Amino acid sequence: MTAGQESPVVSTPHGAVRGRWEHGVAVFRGIPYAAPPFGPRRFRPPVPPTPWDGVRDAGSFGPTAPKPPYSEAFAQYLADPVVPGDDCLNLNVWTPEPGPGARLPVLVWLHGGALTRGSSAVPVYDGRTFARDGVVFVSVNYRLGVEGYGLFPDAPANAGLRDQLAALQWVRASIAAFGGDPDRVTLGGQSAGAISTGALIAAPQAQGLVRRAVLQSGAPEASDRDKVRRMVRRIATRLKIPATAEAFAEADRDLLLRAQGEAGRLSSPVLGGPAFGIVVDDDLVPRDPLEALTEGGAAPGVELLMGWTRDEYRLWLVPGGLLERVDRLGPVALAAARARCHCGHEVVRGYRDLHPEAGTAETVGQLVTDHLLRIPLHRLADGRTAPSYVYEFTWPSLLPGLGSCHALELGFVFDTGDVPESRKLAGEGAPQELADTMHSAWVRFATEGDPGWRRWDPSHPIRVFDAAPPLTTYGLRDRELALWTADTAVTAPGAGRRSRLRG
């Protein structure tokens, strides 16, 4: 912003908003895309916000969705700001050129957090770097936990996913006024945000809203309905109320969050257990999203950028010392991993033969990572004709034990390694060259549909991101994944895969 330049004002379908000039880009925070989901609207699909007169100030992040805090063990690595208030269905826009006519590419971001935590206010997700490089960036808050993904007999399922769809519809109607091109929208997310992205690009109601998609450490899936119901029943038992939306809507919000946190305390990607997730609902999610995308012809022209970190499991096992406990359990942990991943002895034996130096925790962690991520993402890339680009992030954190863990790549993708919240995972002194490389690849994908390496084909090209210059390798992890194909306990790649990712 130059001296004397006025704050930017943009008109939306519901009223005008005033943003701020920051770092040379216009920022609009806390814009409501739907009405507050409480009172008579609690556990119901989103509805448009009430229009306002005059110009609404959009200088601060809006309220975050109700959520329990991270445990102390996870809070040392993951930031999760809380902004109080009911108007939590809001979004933020960073743009280099507000006003119609620019027609810039758009990236819409869905945060991670196991569908129970996280928000668009996490500083790692600052969209200024994308706007700096010519991309209009939008980040979204949506309902979480039982408010967004509880399964009840008297309310529609997937309320949080419906919120995300409403945000995409807002982008379609409004983003041109912020300088964006509604026909060049990339939808992206990490972990639960990536799972949500997969469900949305497969959803019939979202067709035509998204041109490209980014799936970071999350694959399209539908959770087992009974698993979600068990989580709801656990909370209902703690509150001594019926497991209905009507009863939950009358519950005190703080007590509900406390009961939710207690009910999900032992659930994790490695351990399994009841958890919240997107479910098939015969409406927004008429079939398993992975099946819809690979077998049902959904979103045939949507280009994909997707991948994982080498040591995803270390964020799930290192906090709280679970990694050491898994190592001590030895054969018991391996047996639990077989049950968790629906695979036979031959798969575990094959992993031990391929990696004789690996301890029990590493073997269990890689088995779970392949089950949750690499197998379904390979299947997704194999099953589509539109271009797909696959990566693996291998740079290890400078903090002890984390390795190339889940969520570590975010500070590099966003080029926000300078914020303290990025250093909570990466440590001090993360390589700026790696951030330059990854961020520019994501910008290029959102702009051109090609991040700069060979698209997926039968040779399985995978871009590897480390401190050294990036390289493309072929057939990375094919030996491990072939073990699952040969295992008679698995009828198809990704069969039986039902989980929720943390972070």
User: Strand pairing of 471-474 and 461-465?
Assistant: antiparallel
* C-alpha torsion sign, points 268, 334, 318, 310: negative
pLDDT level of residue 56 (50, 70, 90 thresholds): very high
What are 72's two structure tokens?
Answer: 């102390």
Mean residue pLDDT of the chain comes to 93
Using CA atoms, how far apart are residues 80 and 119, in angstroms rounded to an integer?
7
SS (H, E, C) 392-409: EECCCCCCCCCCCCCCCC
The domains located in the chain, with CATH, are 9-486 (3.40.50.1820)
Using CA atoms, how far apart are residues 422 and 376, in angstroms rounded to an integer?
28
Residues sharing a CB contact under 8 Å with residue 209, sequence separation 6 or more, in sequence order: 168, 169, 171, 172, 185, 187, 200
Q: Which of 174, 191, 388, 397 is catalytic?
A: 191
User: Can you give the pTM of this predicted structure?
Assistant: 0.95
Q: Which of 111, 371, 378, 406 is catalytic?
A: 406
DSSP 8-state secondary structure symbol assigned to residue 371? I
Residues sharing a CB contact under 8 Å with residue 70, sequence separation 6 or more, in sequence order: 78, 80, 117
3-state secondary structure of 239: helix
Instruction: List pLDDT tens digits, range 103-153.
Output: 999 999 999 999 999 999 999 999 999 999 999 999 999 999 999 999 999
Q: Is 369 exposed, middle or buried (0-12, 13-18, 19+ CB in 10 A)?
A: buried
Q: Which of 312, 362, 409, 480 is catalytic?
A: 312
3-state secondary structure of 173: helix
33-53 burial code (b ≥16 CB/10 A, e <16): bbbbbbeebbbbbbeebeeee
Question: Closest Cα to residue 434, out of 455, 415, 407?
Answer: 415
402-417 burial code (b ≥16 CB/10 A, e <16): bbbbbbbbbbbbbbbb
pLDDT level of residue 491 (50, 70, 90 thresholds): very low
CA of 45: how far to CAs of 151, 163, 166, 489, in Å? Answer: 13, 7, 9, 39
3-state secondary structure of 416: coil
Instruction: List pLDDT tens digits, range 66-104.
Output: 999 999 999 999 999 999 999 999 999 999 999 998 999
User: Strand pairing of 388-393 and 461-465?
Assistant: parallel
Active site residue 72: no
Active site residue 342: no
Contact present, 366 and 433 (Cβ < 8 Å)? no
User: Strand pairing of 388-393 and 9-12?
Assistant: unpaired
Using CA atoms, how far apart are residues 88 and 371, in angstroms rounded to an integer?
34
Using CA atoms, how far apart are residues 41 and 89, in angstroms rounded to an integer?
12
pLDDT greater than 80 at residue 487: no
Using CA atoms, how far apart are residues 222 and 199, in angstroms rounded to an integer?
8
Instruction: List pLDDT tens digits, range 235-279.
Output: 999 999 999 999 999 999 999 999 999 998 877 787 777 789 999
Task: Calculate mean pLDDT across residues 444-453.
Answer: 98
Active site residue 406: yes
Give the helix, strand, coil percentages of the chain, each rounded to 5.
35, 15, 45
pLDDT level of residue 5 (50, 70, 90 thresholds): confident
